[in-house]
Structure 1
Amino acid sequence: MADPEKLFADPEKLFKVDVVTPNGMIYSHRGSIVDVRAIDGERSILYNHVPLLTPLVISEVKVKRSREMNSRIDHIAISGGYIEFSDNVATIIADSAERARNIDVSRAQAAKERAEKRLKEAREKHDERTEKRAAVALRRALNRISVYNTRGH
């Protein structure tokens, strides 16, 4: 007998996309394509993609909401994490994530400047541990600014 879930498969080939952080659900919609940056390169996930679990880097996640040409694309800044895809559900688990529309760009700019200052000071003191932490903070701030700027004002 056919699986009842398969009988009512989405004719538009949309699947569920969730972005979760320790603070809860940041994003939950249906999409036709999810573009992510894994540690080994770019990935595009479509309906019925093979099951997958892979680590992600600090980057932008793009979710195309439908198959139409002028479909809305949601932009989300993530601080790394993982994507798991199975049974047409994409779940992204990240330490932090922010939808482009919710990014406070002035706060992100201030974080960028603080991180640049800490990075410079750590390099002068040859403090590798602080330098690595500042470099990550800088990448996160730059990612938030970039995602904010690409959201299509």
Structure 2
Amino acid sequence: MADPEHLFKVNVVTPDGLIYSHRSSIIDMRAIDGQRAIMYDHTPILTPLAIGDVKVKRSREMSGRVDHIAVNGGYLEFSNNVATIIADSAERASNIDVSRAQAAKERAEKHMQEAREKHDQQSLKRAEIALRRAANRISVYNTRK
């Protein structure tokens, strides 16, 4: 049977397993080379993702609901109307523990300051990534309805 809404499957997988699986009309995410949107029948693609918010617009029967998922990098593969995101970690907005994310943000800021004082570029870079991940989780958490 034909799909009148032109929906495709979206799966998000982490080392802990499948954390998200729904049908979508469009997904929007940040790849390392810029913003991307994927729709039904998109050309097959494999692209690395940046730390960011993956927005999944659901079907009309779901009132056009948009699910937000915080991903910490990874890859998006799209072919045969299936989008698969493979990430080291990913959390739906509704599952984010914002107090834990805030604590991670504060720790990262502290580590950045210590690394600057010691002129430790490697530690500074790790702390900056940790800060971006924590800030992303907080931002995605704030998008939930």
TM over 0.5: yes
Identity of aligned residues (%): 75
Q: What is the match of residue 77 of structure 2?
A: 84
- Counterpart code for 1:13: H
Q: CA offset at residue 9 of structure 1?
A: 3.6
Unaligned runs of 5+ in 2: none
Aligned to 1:3: none
Any gaps of 5 or more consecutive residues in structure 1?
1-7
**Counterpart of 1:62?**
55
Distance 1:96 1:69, change over 3 A: closer
Amino acid at match of 1:113: E
1:86 deviation in Å? 0.2
1:136 counterpart = 2:129? yes
**Bigger Rg, which one:** 1
2:38 is aligned with 1:45:
yes
Q: SS at 1:150's partner residue?
A: coil
| Corresponding residue of 2:24 | 31
Match in the other structure for 1:126: 119
Change (3 A) 1:145 1:125: same
TM-score by length of 2: 0.96
| Residue 150 (structure 1) shift | 1.2
**Does residue 1:117 correspond to 2:110, yes or no?**
yes
Q: Per-residue deviation at 1:67?
A: 4.5
Give the length in aligned residue pairs.
145
The one-letter code sitting in structure 2 at the alignment partner of 1:16 is K
